[in-house]
Amino acid sequence: MNYHFDQVVDRRGSNSIKYDFARELGKPQDILPMWVADMDFPSPPEVREALHKACDYGVFGYTQPKELYMEAVSNWFLKQHGFCPKAQWLVFSPGVVFGLSASVRAFTEPGDSVLIQQPVYEPFGKVVVANDRKLVINELRLHEGHYEIDFEDFEEKIVKNHVKLFLFCSPQNPVGRVWKREELMRIGQICLAHQVLVVSDEIHCDFTYPGFSHIMFPSLNETLAQNCVLCTAPSKTFNLAGLQVSNLFVPNESLRKKLREEIRKTGYVGPNQLGTIACEAAYRYGDLWLKELSSYLKENLDFVRKYLDEKLPQIHLIEPEGTYLLWLDFRALKLSPSELDDFITKKARLWLDDGPIFGQGGEGFQRMNIACPRSILEIAMDRLKWAIDGLN
């Protein structure tokens, strides 16, 4: 191991959303935060070095990254996912959610229908409703512990509601699916047949567990590439969320112009300098770090699975194929949604993400972020066991 993920970094007092806002968000002070999707690991040393260098230089005027930036970004996706986004497709955004929201405005009109699949990362629904579009939901189906797409419902909802745009989460947060080629093709073909634009949020693409590979939506074929907006960011992979940098790719020229125009209207003129420096360094030098991190996360996952199997069989782990987020099924405890949330927060003193915030299909579930040193995970699981033992 070249990198040490067991090291505990005290994040308290760093204005971290995850750690420093318990009181403001109505949580007890001694709660263990395992919620929002950022990691408790420092970014790769190569990224920190690049940032140090920029800080030592000390001039932070307006910038725009040039060819070397794009080379690092494209090579990353080529090496990791076999797909090379072209430089001219790039549209900068301060974040993926910003890109989702801008896409909704750029490609639909108020009152138009936008499709999402639930349970899903909360802002998917919010950006639709906040932009006065009609939210249409295709609920993912849980079948023998595995989430699947109900394609009949997917197409029916599109036709019935004249859906214009589909906000797609791939890999899926929170259920951890890494979509198979057949599923992606079917989604792509249905959307194409009904002139539905696919906006594919692939922010979690770099985290897949052994046996699963992520397929980037525009890599499926040229026709489907022309009908999509690909949303990426280095923020999940390298823990850079606070640096606000995201790379959107739009292969279709007229769609790209529309999206750029919409983003321009917000007053956003270009990316954060330190964000792009970190992004370039991460994509250029971060592959070994990510490889070791992925092994560490796999061990974290194995630890939780074993713990649940041996000590907490009432709680069912939805086996993730990707992401560092676990979707845990607490339905066997037979608690109401508010009782479960109270139990996790006040009894187990764990700060997880409460299932219902992810929409339909979220009741009885909690999402746990396992991107932390194992010693923290051990404390979390022991807290959970102690609380559950107390129920009997």
Ligand X SMILES: Cc1ncc(COP(=O)(O)O)c(C=O)c1O
Per CB under 6 A, the list member of 90, 91, 233, 240 interacting with ligand X is 233
Contact call for residue 320 and ligand X (CB under 6 A): no
Contact call for residue 95 and ligand X (CB under 6 A): yes
Q: Which one, 191 or 241, has the nearer CB to ligand X? A: 241
> Could you tell me how many residues make up the chain?
392
Q: Which stretch binds ligand X (CB under 6 A): 65-73, 92-100, 145-153, 289-297?
A: 92-100
Backbone torsions φ then ψ of 194, nearest 5 degrees = -110, 15
Contact call for residue 37 and ligand X (CB under 6 A): yes
Per CB under 6 A, the list member of 187, 241, 278, 370 interacting with ligand X is 241
Residues 191-210 that bind ligand X (CB under 6 A): 201, 203
Q: Which one, 228 or 312, has the nearer CB to ligand X? A: 228
Q: How many residues bind ligand X (CB under 6 A)?
A: 13
Q: Which stretch binds ligand X (CB under 6 A): 16-24, 79-87, 152-160, 233-241?
A: 233-241
Q: Which stretch binds ligand X (CB under 6 A): 90-98, 141-149, 153-161, 285-293?
A: 90-98
Amino acid symbol at 193: A
Q: Which one, 307 or 358, has the nearer CB to ligand X? A: 358
For residues 170 and 184, give the distance between their C-alpha atoms in angstroms, rounded to a whole number.
9
Contact call for residue 121 and ligand X (CB under 6 A): yes
CA dist list (Å): 257 to 55, 94, 100, 131, 223: 34, 18, 16, 20, 18
Per CB under 6 A, the list member of 43, 101, 208, 235 interacting with ligand X is 235
Strand partners, 166: 115, 198
Q: How would you classify the pairing of strands 197-201 and 353-354?
A: unpaired
Amino acid symbol at 25: L
CB of 120 to ligand X, least distance (A): 8
Per CB under 6 A, the list member of 97, 229, 348, 368 interacting with ligand X is 97
Per CB under 6 A, the list member of 131, 227, 239, 246 interacting with ligand X is 246
Contact call for residue 368 and ligand X (CB under 6 A): no
CB of 171 to ligand X, least distance (A): 8
Q: Which stretch binds ligand X (CB under 6 A): 11-19, 67-75, 89-97, 107-115?
A: 89-97
Q: Which one, 189 or 272, has the nearer CB to ligand X? A: 272
Per CB under 6 A, the list member of 96, 114, 199, 377 interacting with ligand X is 96
Q: Which residue is nearest to ligand X (CB)?
A: 95
- Residue ranges binding ligand X (CB under 6 A): 37, 95-97, 121, 169, 173, 201, 203, 233, 235, 241, 246
